[in-house]
Structure 1
Amino acid sequence: MLVTDYVANGSFASLKANVNLYQEPNYAYFIRNTDLKSGSFGVFVDQHSYEFLSKSTLYGGEIIISNVGDVGSVFLCPKLDGRMTLGNNIIMLRPEDDHLRYYLYIWFKYLQGQALIQGIKGGSAQPKFNKTDFKNTSILIPPKYMLTRFHETVAPMFEMISERQTETARLVDLRDTLLPRLMSGEIDVSNLDL
């Protein structure tokens, strides 16, 4: 299983020199903990930054865990409409066996996984855990036949959730585009026959 983070791409100095963030659409999304919480993705990187951050490329479906500040928040990376790279203060898990994805997501999001994360958490002013401590933990993995049955059961549910999230995001964009135009009178609906 691949476990990586933003700083796997280089020193803080090299990251500062090679990563440019933008508040308007650019080459790739820069996925942060706050974006995953809100479901709104508005920070981007340019092509050079994206290529520099090659060790933390996201494709959608990865398990993402906050490891600084809001320690233990767990998300499934959405499949956005463009390239994506992992932001800072979060780690990413990409299991080699796709049947592990939803199992690990649920495991880390709830009881045993949260207890494990809290057990490796340190820091007094700002809680955090490091990637090395995380990699050295043990995770209970069920037998393959159970994992397969579990995946076959929950995968359709997670796919439906993903579809609903995509539809919700599209409707929010539509609302945010149309409502100001309706309020300003730019779009006139007075002649519509309802």
Structure 2
Amino acid sequence: MAMTDMKDNVAILGNTAIMPLDNEYIVNQRVGHLRANGYKGVTYPFIYLLTNSTDFLVDLRSRANSGVQVNLSSSEIKTSQTVLPSEKVNTAFSEITLPMFETIISNQLENQRLVQLRDTLLPKLMSGELDVSDIDL
């Protein structure tokens, strides 16, 4: 969760992102790390959708400290209140959303691999280092 933003913009403050790979990211002290612990069947899609909802962000940002930069404290994040559905509802929600989120993440990772492959092969093709003229399709 972004815990600092520029005062003139406040476009990312409180927003969350899904980090699909462990130990692949470097963050500083102004980024909060949220994890679903399975309480009452809550999974990461619920947390992601909740924390990026307009109502949640408006409430959270209203409690931020303002100066040159706008800052959220971890205590303000922890005091955020929300209605938590029953475990049965959360489980049903997760059965629908988890496969969707897993597909989205898988597609994003595949897109990253394809971009890397393109960026590696294209210069070699353009320079003539690789010749594909004999390949039949």
TM-score interval (norm. to shorter): 0.7 to 0.9
User: Whose Rg is larger?
Assistant: 2
Q: Which has the higher strand share?
A: 1
Q: Which of 91, 99, 107 is equivalent to 1:164?
A: 107
Q: Report the Cα distance in structure 2 between the residues aligned to 1:116 and 1:143, rounded to whole angstroms.
A: 23
1:154 maps to amino acid: T
Deviates more, 1:164-173 or 1:114-123: 114-123
Residue by residue over 1:48-93, the C-alpha shift from the partner in whole angstroms, topping out at 9 and shown as x without a partner, is xxxxxxxxxxxxxxxxx1111231221111126xx34550121011
Q: How far has the Cα of 1:143 moved from its partner?
A: 1.1
Q: Aligned with 1:93: secondary structure? A: coil
Q: Report the Cα distance in structure 1 between the residues aligned to 2:64 and 2:110, rounded to whole angstroms.
A: 36
Q: Which residue of 2 aligns with 1:87?
A: 27
TM-score by length of structure 1 reads 0.60
Residue by residue over 1:10-57, the C-alpha shift from the partner in whole angstroms, topping out at 9 and shown as x without a partner, is xxxxxxxxxxxxxxxxxxxxxxxxxxxxxxxxxxxxxxxxxxxxxxxx
Q: Which of 77, 84, 99 is equivalent to 2:19?
A: 77
Give RMSD over aligned pairs: 1.8
Q: Which residue of 2 aligns with 1:106?
A: 49
Q: Which residue of 2 aligns with 1:4?
A: none
Q: How far has the Cα of 1:184 moved from its partner?
A: 1.6
Q: Aligned with 1:74: secondary structure? A: coil
Q: Report the Cα distance in structure 2 between the residues aligned to 1:135 and 1:163, rounded to whole angstroms.
A: 30
TM-score by length of structure 2 reads 0.83
Q: How far has the Cα of 1:102 moved from its partner?
A: 1.2
1:106 maps to amino acid: L
Q: Aligned with 2:66: secondary structure? A: coil
- The size of the alignment, in residue pairs, is 128
Identity of aligned residues (%): 30
Q: Which residue of 1 aligns with 2:128?
A: 185
Q: Report the Cα distance in structure 1 between the residues aligned to 2:64 and 2:26, rounded to whole angstroms.
A: 21
Quick check: 2:2–2:14 contact (8 Å CA) kept in 1? Answer: yes
2:4 maps to amino acid: V
Q: Aligned with 1:141: secondary structure? A: coil
2:56 maps to amino acid: G
Q: Which of 67, 74, 91 is equivalent to 2:3?
A: 67
Segments of 5+ residues of structure 2 without an aligned counterpart are 6-11
Q: Which residue of 2 aligns with 1:24?
A: none
Q: Which residue of 1 aligns with 2:9?
A: none
Q: Report the Cα distance in structure 2 between the residues aligned to 1:152 and 1:113, rounded to whole angstroms.
A: 23
Segments of 5+ residues of structure 1 without an aligned counterpart are 1-64
Q: Aligned with 2:124: secondary structure? A: helix
